[in-house]
Amino acid sequence: MNKNTNGNRKRKKISLNQFIINALSEKVSALQTVDIIEKKSFKSFKRRVYESFSSSAK
């Protein structure tokens, strides 16, 4: 992995610090996206359960 990292970094002509910052920002972005999707999914689930109970109570 180290050889691949150094090769990619040198081809793109960026410093190791910049490479690390880019990798971390991509990871944080991916985690935030997962969090947003999970929250929307849970809200949708709660709404469907509520609707299900509301319709069965009639």
Chain segment 13-48, per-residue pLDDT in tens: 888 899 899 999 999 999 999 999 999 898 888 888
* Residue 58 pLDDT greater than 60, yes or no: no
Give the model confidence (pLDDT) of 1-10 as tens digits: 556 666 776 7
6 domain residue, yes or no: no
pLDDT for res 53: 80
Residue 4 lies in a domain: no
Which residues constitute the domain of residue 31?
16-56
**Structural domain includes residue 26:** yes
5 lies in some domain = no
Number of domains in the chain: 1
* Domain assignment present for 47: yes
55: number of Cβ within 10 Å: 8
Does residue 50 lie in a domain region? yes
Radius of gyration of the chain (CA): 22
- Does any domain span residue 23? yes
Q: How far is CA 23 from the centre of its chain?
A: 13
Please tell me the predicted confidence (pLDDT) of residue 32.
Answer: 96
